[in-house]
Structure 1
């Protein structure tokens, strides 16, 4: 009996010690909490993420990652979401909502009237007339809203915890390319809030993808749950997300060219979840852990 009691005592001690470690660990900023909330202390590492739009999804050897961001369409039947959930990860699903991609399985559902100019650098994509989700401005009886709603249903059915909606800043592209539509700031706000409402209605979180010039709009930062940003340190744009950070909403950020030493110290001070990735967004990843 004494031996068994000793074993029980040891097990209890280990459990208490491990629990304390998790509480004190800089990687417990998110823990099991969802939605993720930033710790006000910059010394506490923000939620750690990996961004893998390439397939198949590969588990990163870093066991302290909290969140994976993966392509919804490419992983709908791959079992990746279930695999990640089984290991305790949360899953953000990437989904294009502002441009048409000709290889997606629902590409034929989009009316030609809402397909605009080709997306610069991506010949297989065309900008969408996002005004079509607005009944007042739609010329197709809000066909785009119907298509996107089905996509959100699919994301929910496959178990996505959150959505990364891409190309939600088309109104701001006129300086260097044409979308083919006279989109206004308010057109974009209407569309983005509609996307957020649809995603939230299905029990998922939603992130603001780039869209730096609307990130300070209180309608945006009060509605969206987090940010996904590319190269905001390289282009000195991270300050645009200050309102999200003020509300302790995570900013998941990826650099492609800068060395860690060029952005990690600032990322730590700002509490930004910054990583370095290849442009292909495969499983290769570096992060700022050594700066904490």
Structure 2
């Protein structure tokens, strides 16, 4: 979540590449499993992997069967059977979970030491930034409690069958993107944390995406490690160019617009090979995409 985002406020709800030896190819010409990990065709006339983003519950399968990837909330769907249902229909599942801020309604909220809870997330009094330095043994003052908590979350995601993770709030250091976290986080603190997240997820056999974090997307340690991007409103805020290195490596950018019309952003998305959709801020099942432009 960055300065433009409010999508998780709906209340209902190092650098090693994972499987680097796999040959990437367009899922449109492949079988059920051979298109995963998702990748981009070099030809912009070929539509990039289609996705849906539903953080509201319950999950509703879109009638467009050419969608192959669903991004859903991990906690809200852990015991709902949604992952198994989507897998039974041939879909892959990205699971959303927060790694950079504390949410007071999550079932493990009491596990977080008070010392790593920072400033309130602006506009949302039930969230606080985390001191992400706590995963670094050389900087932790709690015995790396945050690493233990997030590791348990990744284990839960793996156990429920998530194919990939969308880790949110990965730019706590960046005061140009939002208010201060309440901690003196540096660029390198964030890089350490983000690579730790990626390695932890990859070790469990899941892919991992970079969420927003435009000002680190050009860092080779980031784009060489993360498997895809999840971006909000990069066309509206002229930020899509920050993900050019991911696109150069044929790594998908899964992007959502809230206010723009399809005619405004779909031609640009096609030219850049970005998997763009239009969603409501509630991230329910309502969805439009750029298929008509291919």
**TM-score of the alignment, normalized to the shorter chain, above 0.5:** yes
For 1:237 and 1:28, how far apart are their aligned partners in 2? 32
Aligned to 2:147: 145
Aligned to 1:178: 180
Aligned to 2:259: 257
TM-superposed deviation, 1:25 = 9.5
Contact preservation (8 Å) 2:53, 2:70: yes
C-alpha RMSD of the superposition: 1.8
Aligned to 2:287: 285
Cα 1:118–1:272, aligned 2, differ >3 Å: closer, same or farther? same
TM-superposed deviation, 1:29 = 11
Contact preservation (8 Å) 1:27, 1:45: no
Aligned to 1:53: 55
Aligned to 1:200: 202
Aligned to 2:4: none
TM-superposed deviation, 1:30 = 9.1
For 1:228 and 1:282, how far apart are their aligned partners in 2? 17
Task: Deviation per CA, 1:186-218: give whole Å up to 9, x if none.
Answer: 000000000000000000000000000000000
TM-superposed deviation, 1:173 = 2.9
1:1-292 to structure 2, matched below 5 A, reads 32-173=34-175, 176-292=178-294
TM-superposed deviation, 1:151 = 0.2
Cα 1:136–1:151, aligned 2, differ >3 Å: closer, same or farther? same
Task: Deviation per CA, 1:16-74: give whole Å up to 9, x if none.
Answer: xxxxxxx9996869974211111000010000000000000000111110100000000
Long gaps (5+) in structure 2: 1-24
For 2:28 and 2:208, how far apart are their aligned partners in 1? 25
TM-superposed deviation, 1:174 = 5.5
Aligned to 1:5: none
Stretch moving more, 210-219 or 114-123: 114-123
For 1:226 and 1:25, how far apart are their aligned partners in 2? 15
TM-superposed deviation, 1:177 = 1.1
TM-superposed deviation, 1:225 = 0.1
For 1:50 and 1:215, how far apart are their aligned partners in 2? 23
Choose between structure 1 and 2 for higher RCO, CA contacts under 8 A separated by at least 6 residues: 2
What SS does the aligned partner of 2:119 have? strand
Cα 1:285–1:110, aligned 2, differ >3 Å: closer, same or farther? same
For 1:141 and 1:37, how far apart are their aligned partners in 2? 38
**TM-score (norm: length of structure 2):** 0.89
For 1:173 and 1:267, how far apart are their aligned partners in 2? 28
Stretch moving more, 67-76 or 31-40: 31-40
For 1:110 and 1:47, how far apart are their aligned partners in 2? 37
Bigger Cα Rg:
1
What SS does the aligned partner of 1:95 have? strand
What SS does the aligned partner of 1:173 have? coil
What SS does the aligned partner of 1:152 have? helix
